[in-house]
């Protein structure tokens, strides 16, 4: 039997994840030029900016998943699909993943501009 998580516990966990992704993204963006100068490898600067942008996109996509699918817990759906061989849960899991993948691809293409 699955234990329902309280909304406050879920919110606390989500805020911590998003904050960590944003902090790591900021670290890459802020310190990549300094690292490129210190190592005398200029190619590190744009790569650090790209990695920082990827962490920002991950943070935004995490928030978007909660906004678009507020009552669906992706982890519980995956467990349901795997353990009980529930095809409907597997299709829901795949649908959520496709929506998130499309969102990430759109944001990734915007980063290149």
What are the residue boundaries of the structural domains of the chain, listed by start? 7-111
Rounded to two decimals, what is the model's pTM?
A: 0.74
pLDDT band for position 7 (50/70/90)?
low
pLDDT band for position 12 (50/70/90)?
confident
**DSSP letter at 2?**
P
pLDDT above 70 covers a percentage of the chain that reads 88
Query: Are the C-beta atoms of residues 60 and 107 closer than 8 Å to each other?
Result: yes
**Residue pointed to by tokens 């039997």:** 1
Q: What share of the chain is helix, strand, coil (3-state, %, to 5)?
A: 80, 0, 20
R_g over Cα of the chain: 18
């Amino acid at each position: 039997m699955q234990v329902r998580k309280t909304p406050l516990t879920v919110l606390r966990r989500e805020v911590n994840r998003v904050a960590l992704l944003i902090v790591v993204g900021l670290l890459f963006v802020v310190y990549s030029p300094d690292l490129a100068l210190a190592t005398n490898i200029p190619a590190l600067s744009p790569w650090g900016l790209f990695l920082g942008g990827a962490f920002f996109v991950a943070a935004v996509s995490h928030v978007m998943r909660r906004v678009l699918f507020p009552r669906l817990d992706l982890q519980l759906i995956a467990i349901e699909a795997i353990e009980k061989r529930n095809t409907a849960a597997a299709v829901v899991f795949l649908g959520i993943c496709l929506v998130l993948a499309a969102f990430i691809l759109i944001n990734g293409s915007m980063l290149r501009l």
